[in-house]
Amino acid sequence: MSRLGKLPVEIPSGVTASVNGGEVSVKGPKGELNFSAPPAVRILHEDGSLRVEPAENSKFGKSMFGTARARIRNMVHGVTQGYEKTLELVGVGYRAQMQGSDLKLSLGLSHDVVYKPRAGVSLSTPKPTEIKIEGADAQAVGQTAAEIRGFRPPEPYKGKGIKYVGEYIRRKEGKKK
């Protein structure tokens, strides 16, 4: 059984959590998130914390209660502090700019790419070669970053493309004479 899954998730002040059967709802200063736990998991609300335990002594129940606890902990972290990813554009003429709430990317293609962000995610461009993605839902922030990166992933010869800040791109040697 999961060792981390046995630990309770502390609910900080300013955050309200409610459990209705398998539905968990967490509301805080950055927004509200919901999670439906699998039926093999039981969630208990006890004096300022949430505790997760397997509802049945099955392999599925034992494997899912650690995952359910991690999802709830990520929700509490998201509504209090939020999640953030930063992308960097590398290449001559590669730049990003905001067009209302949409993101307009010039990536050396025949046309500019316009990306509409999903609900609950905010995009900003502090520099023309930097994109900042922020939101309360960790999955939505990561998926948005992956979709934007997918328009022009970094290539191994010159390193051109969209990469995460701090990401290491393994470089290859070019042709030899």
Q: Which of 61-75, 76-90, 135-149, 154-168 has the lowest mean pLDDT?
A: 61-75
Decide the pairing of beta strands 41-46 and 31-36: unpaired
Q: 101-138 in b/e burial notation, b at 16+ Cβ within 10 A? A: eebebbbeeeeeeebebeebbebebeeeeebebbbbbb
The whole-angstrom separation of Cα 78 and Cα 91 is 33
Output the pLDDT for position 58: 85
pLDDT in tens, 131-140: 999 999 999 9
Mean pLDDT of 71-91: 94
Q: What are the structural domains of the chain?
A: 4-80 (3.90.930.12), 83-164 (3.90.930.12)
pLDDT in tens, 12-68: 999 999 998 889 999 999 989 999 988 888 888 888 899 888 888 888 888 888 888
pLDDT in tens, 158-173: 989 999 999 999 999 9
3-state secondary structure 19-51: EECCEEEEEECCEEEEEECCCCEEEEEECCEEE
